[in-house]
């Protein structure tokens, strides 16, 4: 009895691989994506365990070690692996602490723009006459302004700071979610299963969130990862302009900005935060690519 049961269990798993397994199989095909995932896991690990991973307190100023070069350069010191900045703070610790902020900004701005973006997009797609034109023209206006300029304007109105930075970035990335959701919804609405759901007596909320939305998720997930990276980049840009997170908080863009006076004397103070931004953005984009390939069956066998 037992054996026959397990036999059918095995049979079943052979017939239908679980969606997660299928996804991982497709994702693992893309070596760049896996590399990006590994690098991102490292950063996430650092961000979560920052107080334990960082060798020093990121705000502590070692006055005797101002602008110490990294350990592999002449004059380097094993106490400060990546050197110190103009106030003698350990650069490695600040970068690790900064990853917390960058991930926080990326994650929260994605969430804050994804949720209203998806809802607006659903409404625009479901009511193409009533709400669609209004919502979409508003989004077009937002897209017509250069994104950084819009972000700067919003921060200028709200005042600089962590939360306002997040809000500004979220507002700037809203139109892409709305457009993407609306396009996907309009594509799905003409499919028979939507009619079938209406025939089965599904009401509007069920139709929107349970029937149609899950089928629009693949492009949204990819867009979310990609805008995660652009959120980090925008936050860095705002920080560099002095409008983002304020010093002494160790945010990558702010670090870059406060160190630009030393670019000729101590290149590492500028280069290392810049390199960290570059690498994490690259890693996220590679991951996003892999996600797209794995989630969009139409592209699965392309390239």
Partner 1 sequence: MSLLEIKNLNVRFGDASAVPVVDGLNLSVDKGQVLAIVGESGSGKSVTMMALMGLIDAPGRVNADALTFDGHNMLTLSARQRRQIVGKDMAMVFQDPMTALNPSYTVGFQIEEVLRLHLNMSKKQARQRAIELLETVEIPAAASRMNAYPHQLSGGMSQRVAIAMAIAGEPKLLIADEPTTALDVTIQAQIMDLLLKLQREQNMGLVLITHDLAVVAETAQRVCVMYAGQAVEVGQVPGLFDRPAHPYSEALLAAIPEHSLGAARLSTLPGIVPGRFDRPQGCLLSPRCPYVQDTCRQQRPALEPKAYSQVRCFFPLNQEVA
Which residues make up the interface to partner 1 (CB under 8 A)?
8, 11-12, 15-16, 19, 129, 191-193, 195-203, 211, 214-215, 217, 297
Cα separation, 108 vs 28, in Å, equals 27
How far apart are CB 11 and partner 1 at their closest, in Å?
7
Both structure tokens of 228: 């995660």
33: tokens are 């994506």
Closest CB to partner 1 among 192 and 264?
192
Instruction: Compute the distance between CA of residue 2 and CA of residue 8 in angstroms, rounded to an integer.
Output: 10
CB of 213 to partner 1, least distance (A): 9
Provide the CB-side half-sphere exposure for 87 (13 A, CA): 12
Give SS3 for 84. strand
Burial of 176 (0-12, 13-18, 19+ CB in 10 A): buried
Nearer of residues 148 and 217 to partner 1, judged by Cβ: 217
- Helix (H) or strand (E) segment spanning residue 262: none
Other Cβ atoms closer than 10 A to 289: 18
Question: What minimum distance in Å lies between the beta carbon of 116 and partner 1?
Answer: 22
Q: CB 10 → partner 1: shortest distance, Å? A: 11
Distances (CA, A) of 6 to 19, 169, 216: 21, 52, 36
Residue 77: phi and psi, rounded to 5, are -135, 130
| Smallest separation (angstroms) from partner 1 to the CB of 264 | 56
Minimal distance, residue 26 CB to partner 1, in Å: 14
Nearer to partner 1, 16 or 45 (CB): 16
CB 203 → partner 1: shortest distance, Å?
Answer: 6
CA distance 303 to 290: 12
Q: How far is the CB of 195 from partner 1 (least distance, A)?
A: 7
- The nearer residue to partner 1, 141 or 200, going by C-beta atoms, is 200
SS3 label, residue 195: helix
CB 259 within 8 A of CB 182: no
Are the CB atoms for 291 and 229 separated by under 8 Å? no
Please, which residues bridge with residue 90 across strands?
84
Cα separation, 279 vs 269, whole angstroms: 16
Degrees to nearest 5, angle at CA 153 with 150 and 157: 140
The distance of closest approach from Cβ of residue 207 to partner 1 in the complex, given in angstroms and rounded to an integer, is 11
In the bound state with partner 1, the residue whose beta carbon lies nearer, of 275 and 299, is 299
Nearer to partner 1, 68 or 211 (CB): 211
Query: Toward partner 1, which CB reaches closer, 159 or 201?
Result: 201
Contact (CB, 8 A) for 94 and 58: yes
């Amino acid at each position: 009895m037992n054996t026959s049961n397990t036999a059918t269990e095995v049979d079943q798993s052979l017939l239908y691989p679980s969606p997660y397994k299928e996804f991982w199989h497709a994702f693992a095909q893309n070596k760049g994506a896996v590399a990006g995932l590994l690098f991102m896991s490292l950063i996430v690990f650092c961000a979560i365990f920052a107080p334990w991973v960082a060798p020093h307190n990121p705000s502590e100023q070692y006055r005797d070690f101002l602008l110490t070069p990294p350990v592999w350069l002449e004059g380097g010191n094993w106490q400060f692996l990546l050197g110190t900045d103009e106030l003698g703070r350990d650069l490695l610790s600040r970068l690790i602490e900064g990853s917390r902020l960058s991930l926080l900004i990326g994650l929260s701005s994605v969430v804050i723009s994804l949720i209203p973006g998806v809802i607006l997009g659903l409404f625009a797609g479901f009511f193409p006459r009533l709400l669609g034109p209004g919502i979409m023209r508003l989004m077009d206006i937002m897209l017509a302004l250069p994104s950084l300029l819009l972000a700067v304007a919003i921060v200028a109105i709200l005042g600089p700071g962590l939360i306002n930075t997040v809000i500004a970035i979220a507002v700037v990335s809203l139109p892409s979610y709305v457009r993407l959701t609306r396009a996907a919804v309009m594509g799905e609405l003409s499919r028979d299963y939507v009619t079938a759901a209406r025939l089965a007596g599904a009401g509007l909320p069920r139709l929107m969130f349970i029937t149609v939305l899950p089928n629009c998720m693949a492009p949204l997930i990819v867009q979310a990862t990609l805008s995660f990276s652009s959120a980090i980049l925008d936050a860095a840009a705002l920080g560099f302009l002095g409008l983002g997170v304020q010093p002494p908080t160790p945010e990558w863009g702010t670090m870059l900005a406060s160190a630009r006076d030393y670019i000729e004397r101590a290149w590492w103070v500028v280069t290392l935060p810049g390199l960290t931004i570059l690498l994490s953005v690259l890693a996220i984009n590679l991951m996003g690519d892999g996600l797209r390939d794995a989630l969009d069956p139409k592209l699965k066998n392309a390239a």
